[in-house]
Chains A and B, each alone.
Chain A
Amino acid sequence: MAATNPEVARAGTGAPRSPLSETWRQLRGPLIYLLPAALVMLTVTFYPLVFQVWMSFTDYGVIREEGKQTLNRFGPGGLPPANYRPPQGVGLQNYTDILTNEPSFVAKLGGNFDFWRILGFNLWWTFSNVGFHVSLGILIAVLLNVEGLWGRKIYRAIFILPMVLPNIVIATVWRNMFDDQYGAINQLISMIAGSPIQIRWFNQIDPPIPGIPLPLSYYAMLIANIWLGWPFMSIVATGALQSIPKEMYEAASIDGATGRQQFWSITLPLLRPAMVPAAMVGIVMTFNLFHIIYFMSGGGPLGRTEIMVTQAFRLVNVNQLYGVAAAFSVLIAAVLIPIFLITNRITRATETYDG
């Protein structure tokens, strides 16, 4: 571990060192540990990202107008197939097509594409969900923290269930629960109402609340994702709650503070340090939450509930426009990097460890 203490080593040798050999000496210790991971990440993580930026300036993919493709260079006998041609540079066209919603480009994608609507919906989706997760998480943690409540252990064990199941199963199960003909939700509503009711959760185009341009499928997915997300926040809040000394509440009630006053001026401020990083993680996770959207609404109706990551997948999987998808992914990164930097600043995650 001498490498961690350069001053001592330098004093020992006595001779002045060039900055380069100093750098090498500091790197020598960790290098052997870093090398395998660095090599793998350079080839499978960073090289594809650089390649992605290059792709975003080309027409990589299937070019329908010409009946050509750039994906398969190898045909039978090792020769390029007849419909192969190398990708050509298109400059900034992919970016301008996406950002200006060029009509002929939108028509090529099926007519439902609107970059700014997708971005706006994605941000609204993220913040509305995380808002519910954090507030419900805190309230339920406080409820379960009430002294003398019977069966706390049992409730805690049940309430962790949504975290335990794989996301993909949760998304597919909720998709079937909201099925308009056979889903459990409509059956439950019919049972309560006493007459058969069929709500078309994923197909109704008119917004259910006039004036708010959000389709019914947004509310269905919001319900599913609230179910999925609050237990994690609740567990983080429980951990923080239990580190608040009881004396603070005792002192507050002696001073005549009501329960509500105690909640706002003791509980909430002291939960903040734990909840802010957790909310940040939640924001990034929900922003990129592929499974719920793709498996439940599939972006429908008419692409109104598409988020950035599902659209990026659709561009590759359905439209086979790899160059456009690459440009779109660069734009995703452009949205996420500021979020990441703010998160990193708030949580101080990459700061030096001096434990």
Chain B
Amino acid sequence: MASVATTPARTGSAVRQGSSKSGRQLKWWQQVLYQALCLFIGATVLFPVLWIVSMSLDPRNIARPTELNLIPPGASLDAYRQVLDRPTGNPVSFAELAMNSFRLAGGVALFALLIGVSAAYAFSRFKFPGRQYAMIAVLGITVLPTVATIAPLFALLNGIRITTTLLSLSLGIAGLLAAGFGLLIIVPAWRSGTAVGSTYVLGGVALLMGLILLVTAVSPPANDVFILRNSLLGVGIAMISGALPFAIWNLKGYLDTIPKELEEAAIIDGASSNQIFLQIVLPLSTPALAVTGFLSFTAGWTEFFLSWQFLTNPQDFTLAMALYNMTGQYAGSVPWSRFAAFSILVSLPVAIVYLLLQRYIVGGLTLGGVKG
């Protein structure tokens, strides 16, 4: 696995080699043949993308496209405007759907990172009894699809019903704990002058988690009985069951590639393992944290089956649920130009970040990205 982990770095350097003019010349017919092949492959790759872009610009608001054209006559952004206003039959705007997806994805990603990174550190750097079995358990879980645990998750979360006051109380306590944990990381390091970027990032993430929980605590849902299953919090908890092992495994893979020499030098200087973790390992693993967080976020951003099965209140609905309602035979009267605009709006943020992090992501995928 280690050989694959170094792939992105190698790709980067070799692309630079390739662009220098040192290579041999191709015969003209070879160049023509290869260019034709590459253009054909490029056309197949771009075909669906161009189709969806051109459809989203179609101003005629016709229910279904009947012909192929790259730029439809009188192209406009009307479909985007309509989709932002009210994408489906339900009275929810795009912003509300996106906010729900964002809270779900962001919360799950932050939580998984926060407690995943320390477990990954333990797996990567300590030898302890039962380590091998614990690692097989974590990796084995990432192979099992989340869909295959939907029955017990639904049954268990459906059994948890509390009054809204109790909910606010428990959320408040959890929020205070998370915020306190964040301060505990930042304040001592700041006082002793040893704080570095990642100390603030990790502490800040914990603080942010705490604040999100506190805000949720003071703005409880309207009904007087809170059913955990029928809430974004419940979907989030169900998602954590798969996202946490994935985060641990992914981060462990990255931590394994960080050379141990720095830590050994720090031990000689008398650093404790907490100092090593916070001041040496965490700063070095910032790209890994970014990638793992992004992959968890993407999974949450487009999560479908848990939300579809769990949620019944339109104000909790997510982007993926709306997209399903707009596709194929379920589309009803939704014009395809809106479907196209909607899918572009859903993809765009994820695609942009993916391209920025691309170098790091490819290595991470081969290290442990099998969770479906």
Residues of chain A whose beta carbon lies under 8 Å from any beta carbon of chain B: 1, 3-4, 23, 26-27, 29-30, 33-34, 36-38, 40-41, 44-49, 51-52, 55, 60, 71-74, 140, 143-153, 155-156, 158-170, 172-177, 179, 181-182, 184, 187-188, 191, 227, 231-232, 235-236, 238-240, 242-243, 273-274, 277-278, 281, 284-285, 288-291, 294-295, 308-310, 312-313, 315-317, 322-323, 325-326, 328-329, 332-333, 336-337, 339-340, 343-344, 347-350, 352-353, 355
Given the known interface contacts A40-B115, A169-B347, the answer about A71 and B152 at a Cβ–Cβ threshold of 8 Å is no
Docked CA distance A181–B67 (Å)? 11
Question: B339 and A143: CB pair below 8 A?
Answer: no
Nearest CB of chain B from residue A144's CB, rounded to whole Å = 7
Q: How many residues of B contact A (CB 8 A)?
A: 125
CB of B84 within 8 A of chain A? Answer: no
Given the known interface contacts A60-B155, A242-B14, the answer about A340 and B309 at a Cβ–Cβ threshold of 8 Å is no
Docked CA distance A23–B365 (Å)? 35
Nearest CB of chain B from residue A159's CB, rounded to whole Å = 6
Which of B119-127, B166-174, B283-291 is the interface stretch? B119-127
Q: Mark B328-362, 1 if CB is under 8 A from A, else 0.
A: 10000000100100010011001100110010001
Which of B39-47, B73-81, B85-93, B185-193 is the interface stretch? B39-47
| In the complex, chain A residues whose CB is within 8 Å of the CB of B122 | 30, 33-34
Question: A36 and B143: CB pair below 8 A?
Answer: no
Nearest CB of chain A from residue B316's CB, rounded to whole Å = 17
Docked CA distance A240–B52 (Å)? 34
Most buried by A among B26, B65, B151, B350: B151
Question: A175 and B327: CB pair below 8 A?
Answer: yes
Docked CA distance A60–B141 (Å)? 24
CB of B61 within 8 A of chain A? Answer: no
Question: B366 and A148: CB pair below 8 A?
Answer: no
Question: A169 and B11: CB pair below 8 A?
Answer: no
Docked CA distance A98–B281 (Å)? 49
Question: B11 and A281: CB pair below 8 A?
Answer: no
| In the complex, chain A residues whose CB is within 8 Å of the CB of B49 | 161, 165
Question: A239 and B68: CB pair below 8 A?
Answer: no
Question: A295 and B324: CB pair below 8 A?
Answer: yes
Tally of A-B Cβ pairs under 8 angstroms: 332
Which of B195-203, B212-220, B238-246 is the interface stretch? B238-246
Question: B158 and A71: CB pair below 8 A?
Answer: yes
Most buried by B among A44, A71, A343: A44
Most buried by A among B323, B354, B366: B366
CB nearest to A26 among chain B residues = B128
| In the complex, chain B residues whose CB is within 8 Å of the CB of A332 | 144-145, 148
CB of B223 within 8 A of chain A? Answer: no
Residues of chain B whose beta carbon lies under 8 Å from any beta carbon of chain A: 1-4, 6-8, 10-11, 14-15, 17-19, 23-26, 30-31, 34-35, 37-38, 41-42, 44-49, 51-52, 64-68, 115-116, 118-119, 121-122, 124-129, 131-132, 134-141, 143-145, 147-156, 158-159, 161, 225, 237-238, 240-242, 244-245, 248, 256-257, 259-260, 263, 267, 273, 276-277, 298, 301-302, 304-305, 308-309, 320, 323-324, 326-328, 336, 339, 343, 346-347, 350-351, 354-355, 358, 362, 365-366, 368-370, 372
Question: A30 and B126: CB pair below 8 A?
Answer: yes
Nearest CB of chain A from residue B238's CB, rounded to whole Å = 8
Question: B115 and A36: CB pair below 8 A?
Answer: yes
Question: B42 and A155: CB pair below 8 A?
Answer: yes
Partner of B145, one of A179, A290, A315, A349: A290
| In the complex, chain B residues whose CB is within 8 Å of the CB of A344 | 136, 139
Question: B152 and A48: CB pair below 8 A?
Answer: yes
Question: B267 and A235: CB pair below 8 A?
Answer: no
| In the complex, chain A residues whose CB is within 8 Å of the CB of B68 | 184, 187-188, 191
CB nearest to A50 among chain B residues = B152
Nearest CB of chain B from residue A152's CB, rounded to whole Å = 6
CB nearest to B350 among chain A residues = A166
CB nearest to B111 among chain A residues = A40
Question: B347 and A34: CB pair below 8 A?
Answer: no
Nearest CB of chain A from residue B103's CB, rounded to whole Å = 18
| In the complex, chain B residues whose CB is within 8 Å of the CB of A60 | 151, 155
Given the known interface contacts A72-B158, A313-B305, A350-B135, the answer about A30 and B128 at a Cβ–Cβ threshold of 8 Å is yes
Nearest CB of chain A from residue B100's CB, rounded to whole Å = 15
- For this complex, 25 residue pairs linking A to B, each with C-beta atoms less than 8 Å apart, are A4-B126, A4-B127, A26-B127, A29-B273, A30-B126, A33-B119, A46-B137, A48-B152, A155-B41, A159-B45, A166-B302, A169-B347, A175-B328, A176-B328, A177-B48, A240-B3, A288-B147, A290-B372, A312-B151, A333-B144, A337-B140, A347-B1, A353-B256, A355-B259, A355-B260
